[in-house]
Chains A and B, each alone.
Chain A
Amino acid sequence: MADVRAHAADSREDDAHPPELRHHFANLPAQREASTLAMWMFLVTEVLFFGGMFTAYVVYRSTYRRAFEGASNLLDLTLGTVNTAVLICSSLTMALAVWASGAGKKKATILFLIGTILLGGVFLGIKAVEYTQKFQHHEVPGPHFVVPLDERTHQPLPRQSEMFFSLYFCMTGLHAAHMIIGVGLLTWLIVKAKNDAFSPRYNTPVDLVGLYWHFVDVIWIFLFPLLYLLGRHTL
């Protein structure tokens, strides 16, 4: 890895032992490179983690097509679309927070981080509303599940609509758990930013949390059409 050792030649005397540098790394660029690589590898594990449920979704959707299409139409399209837009906005604010932290703009960094948290909170709030509606309509799988009626025909859906809701809750639930963790990480970043931890020389934590947050957004980008849109063409 010639580029790593090249960085060592560039570092100046006052950069030789910056407080953020961990002792086993040669210099900050090497540390940043390693940390970024590590975060990407972690995101790979997350892709496979969600991937197991995507596999289950593919298998069951092809087996129970009508049930899945009918059940999907019972999801609130407006709330789902709004949530998608909210997450996209939060990705924008996150990207801007990373940019601001790397440009040394402390106030902007904190503002963008707060914005991201607020948008994340809106997403989670809307999800809570959706979950509550499901609970009230007995669409939660398990002993209290009641087979819902088709949106269009008002006939009972096939029994396997329960499978759709199982996957819906598992997939969006795991996604929401990741958002909650993300909000926690963002809060930690705000505290660090307030303590002047970030500068043009060092904003790796913001960068890495940004990668995580964008990844969670990408998961939703796929969840939204697969869960909310697959049956709309039957209406």
Chain B
Amino acid sequence: MSHGASTSGTPKAYFGVFAALMALTGLTVWASFLHLGVWNTPVALAIAVTKGLLVALIFMHLRHSPRLTFFVAISAILWLAFLILITTSDYVTRPWLPIYGS
């Protein structure tokens, strides 16, 4: 393969990921009906993260990409985490200090 074209994966890898993604979709739908209490959401998110990683690493070639690309992708996740976690930390910590008179 010449330098010009992308370092694509093989169709075999793609079909494998496809099968895994379908299976995980079925899994997440099935798991959503289980009574797992507080664990329903983490389970669903864990499955979604796994699916997302498969798409990113294999379909989007992140596995074979230069390290810089990897850091760029990580920065998106990290900054999204800043946004969501710090914002929610405001709401979560509000009851920690009783407001005078309330």
Q: Please report A residues at the B interface, Cβ cutoff 8 Å.
A: 3, 7, 10, 28-29, 32-33, 36-37, 40-41, 43-44, 47-48, 51-52, 54-55, 58-59, 62-63, 77, 81, 84-85, 88-89, 91-92, 94-96, 98-99, 102-103, 199-204, 207, 210-211, 214-215, 217-218, 221-222, 224-226, 229-230, 232-233, 235
Task: Evaluate contact between B29 and A77: CB separation under 8 angstroms.
Answer: yes
B61 to A: closest C-beta gap in Å:
8
Interface set, chain B 19-72, CB cutoff 8 A to A: 21-22, 25, 28-29, 32-36, 40-41, 44-45, 47-48, 51-52, 55-56, 58-60, 65-66, 68-69, 72
B1 located at the interface, meaning its Cβ lies under 8 Å from any Cβ of chain A in the complex: yes
Task: Evaluate contact between A59 and B66: CB separation under 8 angstroms.
Answer: no
- Nearest B residue to A200 via CB reads B5
For the complex of A and B, the 6 pairs showing the least CB-CB separation, nearest first, are: A201-B4, A229-B32, A102-B5, A47-B76, A232-B32, A225-B44
Q: Please report B residues at the A interface, Cβ cutoff 8 Å.
A: 1-6, 8-11, 14-15, 17-18, 21-22, 25, 28-29, 32-36, 40-41, 44-45, 47-48, 51-52, 55-56, 58-60, 65-66, 68-69, 72-73, 75-77, 79-80, 83-84, 87-88, 91
A60 to B: closest C-beta gap in Å:
10
Residues of A near B72 (CB, < 8 A) are 37, 40-41, 44
Task: Evaluate contact between B84 and A221: CB separation under 8 angstroms.
Answer: no
Residues of A near B4 (CB, < 8 A) are 28-29, 32, 199-203
Task: Evaluate contact between B52 and A221: CB separation under 8 angstroms.
Answer: yes
Known A88-B25, A98-B8, A230-B41; contact A59-B56, beta-carbon cutoff 8 A: no
CB-contact partner of B83 in A51, A84, A199, A211, under 8 A: A51
B93 to A: closest C-beta gap in Å:
13
